[in-house]
């Protein structure tokens, strides 16, 4: 593991200690404890959930001996109850035939198996399933954006596009939104979202969990003249549906166009993009282009992103996640 320092245990311990305010926050038990090179370990991240569950992601191929050394160091530094490993080498993103089991093993690399556990974020509960694929139920870099929504959603209608496990919907409902409509291509993750809502004592209306293609639904909603006070758009960097391919770097203006059409005049479009290859300035320009294509006037009202507390950046480097908030008139 050439790139990893020899005093790895100390490095991992120090990384977690730097999250001091999060470690002592009883209302938040899900956060990143290690963020790659900025924390001294290139190509490796680790997230903690509920105190004892750690999920380590590897962004390059390490040898089995290197993986073992890292896992041993994690056990020594963090005393986890269990550790799950996710292998995310660059080529796995394009190769369909990479065995899922080898990328995201169902059994923990260390400690006890965990089928699911409840993690907290700002007092809200989210179901984490560490053994089910590369994503475990909550994207931690969105914490500040969820907090932003939680402060503002009271009395508003919210459209949650690419909803995944509906974390934005849960936050909106918790803050007293009039309605939160979640759309995702996968019925499985929407059911997980319904479980998240129930976990927080929220009523579940099946009509607010729509399985379908975001582009189809945006057209349908616009045709019906339905609008929302807040529209959140958080697509994957690349996706392929039955009918079309989407690449954030190429197609975001088209998405922003379709999304802006269903924003209530004076409402907000929350445009998100996690593609590291797309610089923030270029992304913001594409969002502005899309809003203009929709025949609407946009005014940038803020930028959000990952919390520097647990997603530190190297000097001069932009975070991969960009969140651009536009008032749409």
Ligand X SMILES: C[S@@+](CC[C@H](N)C(=O)[O-])C[C@H]1O[C@@H](n2cnc3c(N)ncnc32)[C@H](O)[C@@H]1O
Among residues 90, 1, 75, 92, which one has the least CA distance to residue 41? 1
Which residue from 17, 60, 107, 241 is in contact with ligand X, where contact means CB under 6 A?
241
C-alpha dihedral (100, 104, 108, 110), degrees to nearest 10: 130
Residues β-bridged to residue 53: 49, 82
Residues in Cβ contact with 281 at an 8 Å cutoff, skipping those fewer than 6 apart:
none
- Please report whether residue 34 would count as binding ligand X according to CB under 6 A: no
Cβ closest to ligand X, residue 29 vs residue 145: 145
Cβ closest to ligand X, residue 82 vs residue 160: 160
Residues 109-148 that bind ligand X (CB under 6 A): 139, 142
Residues 178-197 that bind ligand X (CB under 6 A): 184-186, 189
- Please report whether residue 236 would count as binding ligand X according to CB under 6 A: yes
Contact segment (CB under 6 A) with ligand X among 12-20, 39-47, 82-90, 235-243 equals 235-243
Q: CB 213 → ligand X: shortest distance, Å?
A: 4
Which residue from 121, 194, 195, 213 is in contact with ligand X, where contact means CB under 6 A?
213
- Please report whether residue 323 would count as binding ligand X according to CB under 6 A: no
Show the 3-state SS of 258-286.
HHHCCEEEEEEEEEEECCCCCCHHHHHHH
- Please report whether residue 234 would count as binding ligand X according to CB under 6 A: yes
Count residues binding ligand X (CB under 6 A). Answer: 18
DSSP 203-272: ---GGGEEES-HHHHHHHHHHHT--EEEEEE---SEEE-SS-EEEHHHHHHHHHHHHHTTEEEEEEEEEE
Where does this chain bind ligand X (CB under 6 A)? 139, 142, 162-165, 167-168, 184-186, 189, 213-214, 234, 236, 239, 241
């Amino acid at each position: 593991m050439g790139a990893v320092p020899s005093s790895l245990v100390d490095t991992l311990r120090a990384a977690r200690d730097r999250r001091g305010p999060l470690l002592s926050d009883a209302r938040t038990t899900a956060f990143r404890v290690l963020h790659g090179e900025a924390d001294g370990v290139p190509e490796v991240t680790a997230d903690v959930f509920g105190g004892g569950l750690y999920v380590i992601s590897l962004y390059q191929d390490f040898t089995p001996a290197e993986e073992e050394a890292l896992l041993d160091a994690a056990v020594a530094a963090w005393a986890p109850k269990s550790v799950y490993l996710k292998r995310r080498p660059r080529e796995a993103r394009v190769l369909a035939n990479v065995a899922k089991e080898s990328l995201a093993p169902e059994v923990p690399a260390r400690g006890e198996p965990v089928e699911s556990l409840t993690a907290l974020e700002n007092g809200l509960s989210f179901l984490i399933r560490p053994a089910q694929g590369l994503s475990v139920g909550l994207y931690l870099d969105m914490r500040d954006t969820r907090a932003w929504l939680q402060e503002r959603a009271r009395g508003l209608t919210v459209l949650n596009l690419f909803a995944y496990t509906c974390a934005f919907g849960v936050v909106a409902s918790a803050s007293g939104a009039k309605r939160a409509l979640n759309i995702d291509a996968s019925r499985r993750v929407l059911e997980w979202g319904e479980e998240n809502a129930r976990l927080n004592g929220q009523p579940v209306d099946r009509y607010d969990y729509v399985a379908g293609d975001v582009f189809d639904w945006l057209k349908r909603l616009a045709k019906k003249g339905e609008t929302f006070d807040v529209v959140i758009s958080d697509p994957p960097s690349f996706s392929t549906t039955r009918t079309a391919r989407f690449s954030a770097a190429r197609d975001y203006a088209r998405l922003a166009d379709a999304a802006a059409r269903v924003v209530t005049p004076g409402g907000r479009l929350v445009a998100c993009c996690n593609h590291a290859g797309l610089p923030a300035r270029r992304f913001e320009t594409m969002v502005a282009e899309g809003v203009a294509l929709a025949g609407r006037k946009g005014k940038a009202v803020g930028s959000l992103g990952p919390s520097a507390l647990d997603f530190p950046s190297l000097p001069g480097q932009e975070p991969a996640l960009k969140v651009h908030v536009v008032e749409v008139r």
